[in-house]
Amino acid sequence: MSVIQFTVPPLPHYIASGLSLLSAGQKHPSRQNIDVFDLLLVDKGCLYMGEEGRSYEVSEGHALILRPDSYHYAVADCKEDTLYHWVHFQTSSSWSIETERCGEHFCSGDDRPGYMPASAFSTWTFSVPVPQFTKVVQPQKLSDTITELTDLNRSLHISGAKLRQQTLFQEVISLLSASIGMNGPSPQSICAERAASYLREHYKEQFSAKRLGESINFHPVYIARCMQKVFGCSPAAYLQRYRIEQSKLLLLQSNYTVERIAEEVGFNHPAYFTASFTKIEGLSPRKYRQRFAWINQ
């Protein structure tokens, strides 16, 4: 497995991101020396990519990082509709490609056993290994994090939004790095990912912890514990956040009333929807629409 070794600090930094859909028969563009790393995470379908003579089938739940100094290209058209996130990032520090393991870990620079900085005031750098191509251990969590990262592009005029993006991007790096050396996802991750997928698929329906447990064959108490560990929230809170994300799309892309949008995303009471939206976003649905609708015009 090829691993990209980043020497930090400074940390790799976020530049831009988005969500793209390729229909069957389309393919990812070919580019050379684009001067940024290009992370691809596939939510649905498969990308058939090549870089420097190596081919990759980036299917659902897999991630590929295309290098800034290489030629990458599509080796085949998509065989089905393919939905994927892309994230452009860069680092002002050194990085390298490692293909062999040194003991249990990749070793380079100041990570070497027994290494000490020249003085107490020297910068202590270390290496962060990130797989160039991997099956992601927590694909839904990574997808959610990138979605939040991209959604913040609408809020860059708000104080703290850019800092929040850089913080989220470090979480992206951590999630990718966690895929190295893993024989597979933990039982807790499997449970949480299945629960998240079910909630996203059935977000318009009334929430029932019992029905969730029956659907994915885990006890509701165990599901709640796993989701708290993996996503940092309960199943009900995860569902509410996802409903709010869907409502934001409708606020910007439709002429539906707030009451209609509340119903469309699974809220039974418009007043509760408005209160929940305001608590999470810091402004009401109507003010959100007024503030951001012009961006999509």
Task: For residues 46 and 270, give the distance between their C-alpha atoms in angstroms, rounded to a whole number.
Answer: 39
Q: Looking at residues 89-101, what average pLDDT do you find? A: 83
The pLDDT tens digits for 149-180 are: 999 888 887 778 899 999 999 999 999 998 88
Average pLDDT value for the chain:
87
Per-residue confidence (pLDDT) for residue 291, from 0 to 100: 81
Listed in sequence order, the residues at least 6 apart from 110 whose beta carbon sits closer than 8 Å to its beta carbon are: 7, 117, 124, 125, 126, 127
The single-letter code of the amino acid at 97 is: I
Q: Looking at residues 35-58, what average pLDDT do you find? A: 95
Q: How confident is the model at residue 7 (pLDDT cuts 50, 70, 90)?
A: confident
Q: Per DSSP, what are the bridge partners of residue 40?
A: 64, 86
What pTM value is reported for the model? 0.70
Per-residue confidence (pLDDT) for residue 158, from 0 to 100: 79
Q: Looking at residues 137-148, what average pLDDT do you find? A: 92
Domain annotation for the chain: domains and CATH numbers? 3-138 (2.60.120.10), 187-296 (1.10.10.60)
Q: How confident is the model at residue 184 (pLDDT cuts 50, 70, 90)?
A: low
DSSP state of 295: G
The pLDDT tens digits for 96-137 are: 988 744 434 444 444 444 444 444 455 567 788 999 999 998
